[in-house]
Structure 1
Amino acid sequence: MNDSHFLQKGKIPPQSIDLEKIILGSIMIDKQGLHEIMNLIFPEVFYKKKHQYIFKSIQDLYHNSNPIDLYTVSNKLRKEGKLSFIGGELYLIELTQKVISSAHVEYHSRIILQKFLLRKLINISSNIIEHCYNEDTDVFELLDKAESELFDINQKYLNKKKYENTRSLIIQAINKIKKIGKNKNGLSGISSGFYYLDKITSGFQNSDLIILASRPGMGKTTFMLSIIRNIILDQNIPVAVFSLEMSSIQLIIRLIASETGISSDKLKKSNLSDLDWKYLFYKTKKLKESALLIDDTPSLSLFNFRAKCRHLISKHGIKLVCLDYMQLMGIHDNPSNFVIRNREQEISIISRSLKSIAKELDIPIIALSQLSRAVEMRSGRKRPILSDLRESGSIEQDADLVLFIYRPEYYGFDTWDTYGKESCIGQAEIILSKHRNGGLDKFRLKFISNQSKFIDLENNNESSLFSKKIIHNNDNKLVVNSNDSFIDDSIPPN
């Protein structure tokens, strides 16, 4: 760790050299608490460089299941050419002579860990201050960098996950099963709002990376928005969307079309009647109060994505993150950080990082992905398969769930090759091609293109337009609960 800023200010860095000596001496003469220490501290925690070398030798011996004592540590340092640097065998003997009791070695280890963290915080703070005086500094990038570094300290050094025995894990599993049993829908994850998808997956699970892929124009974004609508309105669960392709206004107009049943063309052209406007205001009341946050930053980097997700989770309680779409994401913000890589390597890094972020933050991440042109060149019905995932096979490897959207109508077919040769007009097939924690299957949904939404095939168009408070009487007249502000006995706009 660089101590130049300490020297400039004439201050001594936070340290406890005596405790470092006691800890090293205790380990070499007594194995009490050794396992706890090895899970708690690491070589960089020690302030003195020679203490780092000694502990690194002890750590290597421990991981190789070798005995740890004065002789084995000395021999290990000699083989590594570090024995003379640390002061020879005499210094190791001196360390063991300083030990009175090893009873408090774990407590002492926590103290030197705290000293190390203080030094890390001082370094981070000093770097931030230095950047603040630089006129070329982007303040938002600096804030993201500061937040990321502080979060990394917390995750790396304070939230180290310990091993758990089967007793503890079984108790946790039983409690989770009981909790699922109390859930009315019987799901262990976040419901997608689509019956067959929930039936197969039991909902979107925390730490899962869900890939939603198709060729352009198949309805990836529309399907994502349909899922989001079901989550934020029906379950009142906060969701964040990172839209790298469409603006936030374009996305929200699609959601309005989906929720109101007013066609996207009418909304885009503002070709609305008075009834349309009344119905629009009525149906968007709940949407306005929903916990949906949209970020349409173009060329979003992995670094910024991770930092923004952490911020949204801590401040807004976000439970699900959607990314549209992953091929538009970059690895770095700063071009000077670029390393020459081919596109497949970049997508591999992005895919692996998205899975890592989902696991680190313990939330599901839905990432949209393009399929390669190989689908178009294929003869027959052109159903997508896993090898069609564009630019990288690592997407298939990293994903917990891979969903494909397939609409035969897109390729000019008017009937299904399965499902008894039924008409495929206005329908889509959702194909589960990978499911790490369950089986594979496929099912159909109704696709309403002019309203930008998917609904379960069993639902007709009208029933999907109304909330539970709205019903039809025998004369097909709209009846609204008297507590609602919008009351009209006309059929809503199509």
Structure 2
Amino acid sequence: MESNSKNTKRKASSPIVTAQNEYGKLPPQAIELEEDVLGAMMLEKDAYYSVSEILLPDCFYKDANKKIYKAIIDLALKEEPIDMHTVTEQLRKNGVLDEVGGAYYITLLTAKVASAAHIEFHSRIIAQKYLARELIRVSSEILSKAFDDRTDVADLMQEAEGMLFEVSQRNVKKDVQQINPIIEEAVKRIQEASKRPEGLSGIPSGFHSLDKITSGWQRSDLIIIAARPAMGKTAFVISMARNMAIDYNVPVALFSLEMSNVQLVNRLLMNVCEIEGDKIKNGQLAPFEWLQLDYKLKKLYDAPIYLDDTPSLSVFELRTKARRLVKEHHIKMLIIDYLQLMNASGMTFGSREQEVSTISRSLKGLAKELDIPIIALSQLNRSLEGRLGREGKRPQLSDLRESGAIEQDADMVCFIHRPEYYKVTDDGQGNSLIGLAEIIVAKHRNGATGDILLRFKGQFAKFTNRDDDDDSTYQGYVSKINEDNASLAANNSLNVDYDAYPPPPPPNHDVPF
């Protein structure tokens, strides 16, 4: 009877025990391995250097072990020997020897380890336990805030993404590679470039003079294109996206934090169809312009251009979306308009400059991770507006707004400068600058710097090569359109036989249709 009574009591209490086990879990830890690794570092001369890139002090779960590892780091920084005696002395200097268990505990650590043969393997396990604890901490914070009715869910999602991004970055490590496979990859890219008629190793922008300097936009590069307002930053990247997608069939993703998708497409329509922006907005097109729109619109259909107009996009959202675009649509180029409108939600900063630094550093990391070029537009500060003289208005690297880290992180920095905007109509040698824009390559980590001139058609928000315009041919097509316009007006109809219109004579020549 006593036995049955005891069994009954055990059965009755078992749900309580299960509940306690379910919620009474210990954080992921490997204290024995922590002790083995610390002992091994004090046993063998160079053991610390084989794990220094794997372990941080916070990776150790036991507080005493964390303090011992900090003491070992202090010794390594001073290039002093790391052994039982030096570590004990360093702990004494740090004032924490008694807190870790005294010299006796240090002795125990070295006594239980035979060699440092498996120190790297053990260290990786410790690092994995630490990441697991960090994920639990982040999840707990998110869970707690999600139950709070006062929390804005959109803000919480941004914060959660930021915290997870921080954890993931701690685990991003690239192993050292022997040079042979890297040489093979470099030669392969050279061979690919040699097969192209234009001889470019990167993605062509469609602007020939610029491509000569850059050899095309290179994979894993972060390119900053900066200018003061009204210089045509957005027009420049839209013209470039149009060239890449339509002329070279290169998939491009454009993230616009300033304009909606419809506004961006309107800009593209202006650019491709060469119809003024006001007419695109109000729909007051002449009959021949409707014809232009209908005919040239065909170029944009099925073009590999992907648009995203998420406002106040965070660098973490961008990372997620970019990965998906590369995987699903094989995107080869990412364009962001513009950098200062991005944020790094979920992370705390002392100033906006620190946040912009984090954003630019993250963009460079993303370019390397995805192995594609990323172009980010950037505003310039107002300092150049106060400078006098012909050359005073030309942008300089020091004019980059809010952060010197933008210049540091970028592989290339280009400025857009339109002298005509500042009432400068010639270059001082009698050459006209009317209708021209300077693209100033101010920084080029892997190549030359220099200035080039492009033609800027402000009414169409369009940049073109200087040699793309042939006025006599262009005027001939305009005359032909005007004749057809008169005929259309007389018939009051837009039913036109498109086959009656031959293609433009010169290659790469933009005419009204």
Q: Identify the TM-score tier after normalising by the shorter chain.
A: 0.7 to 0.9
1:369 has 2:379 as partner: yes
Higher mean alpha-carbon deviation, 117-126 vs 138-147, is at 138-147
CA-CA distance at 1:52 after TM superposition? 1.0
Q: Shift in Å at residue 218 of structure 1?
A: 2.6
CA change 1:293–1:181 in 2 (3 A) is same
**Structure 2 residue 87 is matched with structure 1 residue 73:** yes
Q: C-alpha separation between the residues in 2 aligned to 1:71 and 1:349?
A: 44
Tell me by how many angstroms 1:170 deviates: 5.1
> Taking structure 1 as reference, are residues 456 and 123 closer, same or farther at Cα in structure 2, changes over 3 Å only?
same
Deviation readout 1:287-322 (Å, 9 max, x if unpaired): 343343444444x2xxx4311221122111144333
1:194 deviation in Å?
0.6
1:248 maps to a residue whose letter is N
- Structure 2 segments unaligned to the other structure (5+ residues): 1-19, 485-495, 503-510
Match of 2:365 in 1: 359
Residue 228 in structure 1 maps to residue 241 in structure 2: yes
Deviation at 1:254, TM superposition (A): 0.8
Q: Which residue of the partner structure matches residue 283 of structure 1?
A: 296
Indicate conservation of the 8 Å contact 1:414/1:425, yes or no.
yes
Q: What is the match of residue 260 of structure 2?
A: 247
Deviation (angstroms), 1:117: 1.8
Paired AA for residue 460 in structure 1: D
Relative to structure 1, is the Cα distance of residues 91 and 366 closer, same or farther in structure 2, using a 3 angstrom cutoff?
same
Query: 370, 378, 386: which is aligned to 2:388?
Result: 378
Structure 1: gaps (5+ residues): 1-5, 466-471, 479-484
Farther-moved stretch of structure 1 (199-208 vs 46-55) = 199-208
Query: Quick one: which amino acid aligns to residue 437 of structure 2?
Result: A
Distance (whole Å) between structure 1 residues aligned to residue 68 and residue 142 of structure 2: 33
Alignment of 1:6-405 (within 5 A): 9-31=23-45, 34-157=48-171, 159-163=172-176, 173-272=186-285, 276-277=289-290, 279-298=292-311, 300=312, 304-317=313-326, 318-329=331-342, 339=350, 346-347=352-353, 349-351=355-357, 353-362=359-368, 363-370=373-380, 372=382, 374-375=384-385, 378-380=388-390, 383-386=393-396, 389=399, 391=401, 394=404, 395-405=406-416
Q: Return the match for 1:407 from 418, 431, 435.
A: 418
Gap change, CA 1:352 and 1:38, over 3 Å in 2: closer
The reply to whether residue 434 of structure 1 matches residue 443 of structure 2 is: yes
Report the CA distance shift for 1:437/1:233 in structure 2 as closer, same or farther (over 3 A): same
Change (3 A) 1:319 1:152: farther
Once the two structures are overlaid, the 10-residue window that deviates more, 447-456 or 203-212, is 203-212
Determine helix, strand or coil for the equivalent of 2:360: helix
Letter matched to residue 248 of structure 2: Q
TM-score of the aligned structures, taking structure 1 as reference length: 0.80
What's the offset of the Cα at 1:70?
Answer: 1.1
CA distance in 1, matches of 2:167, 2:383: 43
Seen in structure 2, the aligned counterparts of structure 1 residues 391 and 21 have a Cα distance that, compared at 3 Å, is: closer
Q: Distance in 2 between matches of 1:194 and 1:463?
A: 22
1:202 deviation in Å?
Answer: 1.6
Shift of 1:57: 1.7
Q: C-alpha deviations, 1:78-114, integer Å up to 9, x for none?
A: 1111111111111111122222443322222222222
Which SS does the other structure have where 1:218 is aligned? coil
Q: Secondary structure at the match of 2:300?
A: helix
Cα gap change, 1:277/1:371 in structure 2, threshold over 3 Å: closer, same or farther? same
